[in-house]
Structure 1
């Protein structure tokens, strides 16, 4: 190991800086989204303005954390974090097409949703990161 190379730091949830390995991405992504789902389900059983604020806060905060986790995972593969805009647009197009009354457009909408969400997620999970340091930093440790 090069003595001059700085060790990789643990990437943060609220920052797009750094790299995140596949296992770390999966575990953090599941933790955040299951946690948000539980909080939202509990808050959804209540009524009032506080409930709406809790759900909105979870949606905004969780959305930002998901963007950061995905950007870090893309950085590990030596790709720009902005690449996640493409599957987002594909999913948005899919939802728009599903709103039509035509079965052909509905089917095409499902294809765009699957490609945009499921396909991109599987690519993130199964594509290994670069083995060496890249423009986004040193290789992350296995546990982070």
Structure 2
């Protein structure tokens, strides 16, 4: 069957084809029969199977509409030097692939380390950067077909750790005052250490979960498959 590529992102290696029969078919990088860049508008020939395009062959025809800028192919890493950081960090809508997610996480992690050396300005910027992290996580969740509100989980865990730590300190102080020894204080310190260790593990697991879970191959409630934001 003949068709036209609607979207393709080389990050997750997934795309969408509009067939001549009016149906849409998802396809993966492994279904491509040629080692060449692909982008929206390209004409292809493929074998449909239960809503999936297999044995996809890119035809020699030019894609419909204007060609992409020279040296740059949307959705294909390594075809140009561009980085849409505004969409990655300032927009909570839409979808991003695993590659863009890890790039965003790495940038925020390094920025956090640098900001830690700046007493006042670093603290203020770190608070503002919470929004950047929510935008990155939200779009990754959308790509997985899940609500972006789940991006609040790490911050909820940390808030709970702060509240429980304060309660543990208060309990330790009251115990020390009641019994006249430091056992209560020592117990509260151990409880706080265990609590924060658990919080860190939960948040780390959340970050890894977002990074290793593949996105949905076709359109979902949050839009079409994502294009590459970091094209290098």
Q: TM-score, normalised by structure 1?
A: 0.73
Alignment CA distance shift 1:93-1:40 (3 Å): closer
SS at match of 2:137: helix
Structure number with the higher strand fraction is 2
Residue-pair matches, total: 133
Task: Give me the CA root mean square deviation.
Answer: 3.0
Matches within 5 A, 1:1-144: 1-2=17-18, 12=87, 13-41=89-117, 43-44=118-119, 52=120, 54-99=121-166, 100=168, 101=185, 102=188, 103-104=190-191, 106-115=193-202, 117-141=203-227, 144=230
What is the Cα deviation at residue 133 of structure 1?
1.1
Q: Which has the higher contact order (CA 8 A, sep 6+)?
A: 1
SS at match of 2:91: coil
Whether the aligned pair in 1 keeps the contact of 2:115 and 2:123 (CA below 8 Å) is no
* Deviating 4+ runs (over 4 angstroms): 7-11
In structure 2, how many angstroms separate the alpha carbons of the residues matched to 1:57 and 1:112? Answer: 23
In structure 2, how many angstroms separate the alpha carbons of the residues matched to 1:108 and 1:40? Answer: 23
Highest Rg: 1 or 2? 2
Any unmatched runs of 5+ in structure 2? 1-16, 25-39, 41-73, 76-83, 169-184
Q: For each residue in 1:19-65, what CA deviation from the matched residue of structure 2 results, as whole angstroms up to 9, or x when unmatched? A: 01111101122123313432553x44xxxxxxx3x324522432211
Structure number with the higher helix fraction is 1
SS at match of 2:90: coil
In structure 2, how many angstroms separate the alpha carbons of the residues matched to 1:112 and 1:78? Answer: 25
Whether the aligned pair in 1 keeps the contact of 2:96 and 2:228 (CA below 8 Å) is no
Q: For each residue in 1:104-127, what CA deviation from the matched residue of structure 2 results, as whole angstroms up to 9, or x when unmatched? A: 464244324422x11211111111
Q: TM-score, normalised by structure 2?
A: 0.48
Any unmatched runs of 5+ in structure 1? 45-51
